[in-house]
């Protein structure tokens, strides 16, 4: 099965198509980094600003080392702890990385995804793949092959069905500032506490304000379904209260039917199903109410996605 899919992937790339690649976080819109025409196509069909850099996905630590000017010990330590997995590292790039991939920055974002099929495809091409989330810019990231197929034409993208994503939100992005400091550029399901446990106590983890490079996921509005979201962080709301809050700020909206996204007790389960639930609910209602519990409030990665997806926050 793997050989057949790899052959189909090679034919698709040769014919000018992108790949809808499964990962453990979300599905990515993939192209080999040396196929600059396809890298440009990724930006074009996503309608993604050229100022928003792309993550380069690799199949091994050794492949990652090709694309950096210097491989810091901190990078090695983090990769050994979290790769393959939902952690992206921002490090100084080598000349092998085109400036379009990094939005002109000297920093490149690298990740080794935790999905065997995609790792085999990257390995077969013997080069990294750009693979931002396979959705139009600022829309909901896809966590199933069907969601990718709903976004893009089969003429542009060959979607590889690798099953549902097991993490469900985008990776944590960490910039390695120097040998003693890192900064979290984008929160994810790998938390600051988890990072600290796998580093020497002398290593400082700084806030996002310390990040010195453009990073994926920094747009203030992102991950948005068709239906507007009311996010209740400070108190519970009824659907009618949520509707009033929306209309107060957006009187142009026609709101007749709202629904509530149920919060699961397990944050990992909630993250895994979040985008799929929002995708389904946005086809069933005019607006969505999300009342966040204390467990979810302790998950910076989930709160980041919810606040960027929300139309109104209470």
- CATH classification code of 2-210: 3.90.870.10
pLDDT band of residue 210 (cuts 50, 70, 90) is low
Predicted TM-score of the model (pTM): 0.94
Q: How far apart are CA 309 and CA 175, in angstroms?
A: 24
Mean pLDDT of the chain: 94
115, pLDDT greater than 70: yes
- Give the list of residues 6+ apart from residue 105 with CB closer than 8 angstroms, or none: 53, 93, 213, 214
pLDDT over 90, % of the chain: 87
- Which residue's structure tokens are 């983090």? 78
User: 155-177 pLDDT, tens per residue?
Assistant: 999 999 999 999 999 999 999 99
End-to-end Cα separation, the chain, in angstroms: 49
Q: Name the residue with higher pLDDT: 221 or 137.
A: 137
**Interstrand relation of 55-57 and 129-130 (parallel, antiparallel or unpaired):** antiparallel
Go through 117-149 and write b for each residue having 16 or more CB atoms within 10 A of its CB, e for each that does not. Answer: bbbebbebbebbbbbbbbbebbbbbbbbbebbb
How is the chain split into domains, by residue range?
A: 2-210, 229-313
Task: Look at residue 217 in the predicted model and tell me its pLDDT.
Answer: 73
149, pLDDT greater than 90: yes
pLDDT band of residue 57 (cuts 50, 70, 90) is very high
Task: Look at residue 213 in the predicted model and tell me its pLDDT.
Answer: 72
Residue 65 token pair: 């080392």
Question: Of how many residues is the chain composed?
Answer: 314
Residue 160: phi and psi, rounded to 5, are -100, 120
What is the average pLDDT across 38-59?
A: 97
Omega before 291 within 30 of 0, i.e. cis? no
């Amino acid at each position: 099965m793997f050989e057949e899919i790899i052959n189909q992937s090679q034919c698709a790339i040769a014919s000018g198509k992108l790949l809808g690649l499964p990962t453990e976080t979300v599905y990515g819109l993939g192209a080999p980094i040396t196929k600059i025409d396809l890298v440009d196509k990724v930006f074009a069909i996503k309608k993604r600003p050229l100022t928003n850099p792309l993550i380069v996905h690799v199949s091994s630590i050794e492949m990652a080392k090709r694309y950096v000017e210097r491989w810091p010990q901190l990078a090695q330590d983090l990769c050994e702890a979290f790769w393959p997995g939902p952690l992206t590292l921002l490090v100084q790039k080598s000349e092998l990385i085109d400036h379009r991939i990094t939005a002109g920055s000297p920093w490149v974002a690298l990740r080794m995804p935790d999905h065997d099929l995609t790792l085999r495809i990257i390995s077969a091409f013997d080069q990294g793949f750009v693979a931002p989330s396979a959705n139009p810019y600022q829309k909901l990231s896809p966590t199933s092959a069907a969601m990718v197929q709903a976004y893009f034409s089969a003429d542009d993208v060959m979607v590889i069905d690798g099953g549902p994503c097991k993490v469900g939100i985008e990776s944590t992005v960490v910039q390695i500032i120097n040998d003693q400091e890192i900064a979290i550029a984008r929160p994810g399901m790998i938390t600051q506490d988890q990072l600290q446990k796998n580093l020497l106590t002398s290593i400082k983890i700084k806030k996002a304000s310390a990040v010195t490079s453009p990073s994926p996921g920094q747009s203030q509005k992102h991950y948005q379904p068709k239906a507007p979201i009311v996010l209740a962080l400070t108190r519970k709301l009824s659907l009618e209260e949520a509707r009033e809050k929306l209309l107060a700020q957006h009187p142009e909206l026609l709101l007749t039917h709202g629904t509530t996204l149920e919060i699961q007790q397990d944050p990992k389960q909630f993250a895994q199903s979040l985008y799929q639930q929002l995708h389904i609910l946005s086809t069933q209602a005019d607006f969505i109410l999300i009342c966040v519990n204390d467990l979810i409030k302790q998950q910076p990665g989930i709160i980041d996605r919810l606040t960027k997806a929300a139309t109104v926050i209470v």
